Amino acid sequence: MQLYNKLSAIERAELIEKAGKDRLTLSFYQYARISNPQELRDQLFIKWDSLDVLGRIYIATEGINAQLSLPADSFDAFKIHLDSIDFLKDVRLNIAVEQDNMSFLKLKVKVRDKIVADGLNDDTFDVTNKGVHLSAKDFNEMLANPNTVCVDMRNHYESEIGHFDGAVTPDVDTFRESLDIIEADLREHKEGKNLLMYCTGGIRCEKASAYYKHKGFKNVYQLEGGIIEYTRQVNEEGIDNKFIGKNFVFDERRSEKISDDVIAKCHQCGTSCDAHVNCANDACHLLFIQCDNCKAEMDNCCSTTCKEIHALPFEEQKELRKGQGNSNDIFKKGRADHLPYKKDLRNIFETFKK
């Protein structure tokens, strides 16, 4: 019985191309008590592998977080299977704004300690005491309220290419890092301001809103379904779009265009650009923003050094990597010192401290 992916990304891409079927990219999450995550993991892998589901799914005792793609003609069977699982019946599915048959090329179902790395001790507060969920229309109204502080709960490389108009965008690398920074910088406004939060699909705000209520914030609100659901409602209901730029996504697409605005710049030359790439040097793989001109000039690399290494024969590159581990740049997400136009550090809450 197969319980793990056995095909490479290249082999899977060839099969998708040969099948010639349109695929749907979607995501969902659900907090629930799961007594045996490993057993559920194996059951899901077997069933979803049979439906040609590909993606990245995390399961923990606290619930499930799934980002995946599947053939469009398998959607009904997939939905029926979800509804057969008690805690996933009628779960909200966030359908991607922009579709790409190659968004995922492997099926990875993993058991984790948490479905989102938040660094919190859930036993110290009531995780079910969440903030008020807002539709796109209500979110816009709250956003326009002068007594509202709107906070982007994503990381700097996500908000750099797109965010809500007027939102505070914490300059952080991880979700867990942002939690204490936001709480500390807004400590004087726990009772007087509306704390309005959003993220990609809603999962980070679910935990963060309960955490901030535990920390004493009185008026906590969150965007139901995140940016993905907001965009769906904007498109279907004719609501004014307050999101500018692109929504960063964690698959091969890298992003979805929400508006025509390009708010970021190439990290190498400074020209207007919002296309994230990974450095082509296998020893680096730094995620950064690169325009087409720099991509051609630098051979899809982030530095001259990486370009020189990438040009070497494959076996020589392997020898250079032996015993070196990954470059520290891989964790900097566009902050590497050799990128002259990386995002500047700044005091993100200065406006609200006055």
CATH number of 122-239: 3.40.250.10
Specify whether 199 is catalytic.
Answer: yes
Mean pLDDT of the chain: 92
> Containing H/E element for 328?
none
The two structure tokens encoding residue 84: 């057969």
With respect to CATH, is domain 9-111 assigned 3.10.20.90? no
The residue with greater pLDDT, 223 or 319, is 223
Would you say residue 131 has pLDDT above 70?
Answer: yes
Catalytic option among 150, 199, 284, 302: 199
Total-model pTM: 0.89
> Is pLDDT above 70 for 330?
no
What residues does each domain of the chain span? 9-111, 122-239, 264-354
d(CA 2, CA 8): 15
Chain segment 87-122, per-residue pLDDT in tens: 999 999 999 989 999 999 999 999 999 999 888 888
CA 338-340-342 angle, 5° bins: 95
Rank 176-180, 267-271, 316-320 by mean pLDDT and report only the highest.
Answer: 267-271
pLDDT at res. 155:
93
What span, in angstroms and rounded, lies between the C-alpha atoms of 86 and 311?
53
Q: Are strands 194-198 and 220-223 parallel, antiparallel or unpaired?
A: parallel
Query: Could you please report the per-residue DSSP string of 88-112?
Result: GTT---EE-SS--TTS--SEEEEE-
pLDDT of the residue at 174: 87
Of 182, 185, 169, 219, give the one whose Cα is nearest residue 354: 185
Q: From CA 249, how far away is CA 247, in angstroms rounded?
A: 6
**DSSP 8-state code for residue 222:** E
Evaluate whether 212 touches 160 at the Cβ level (below 8 Å). no
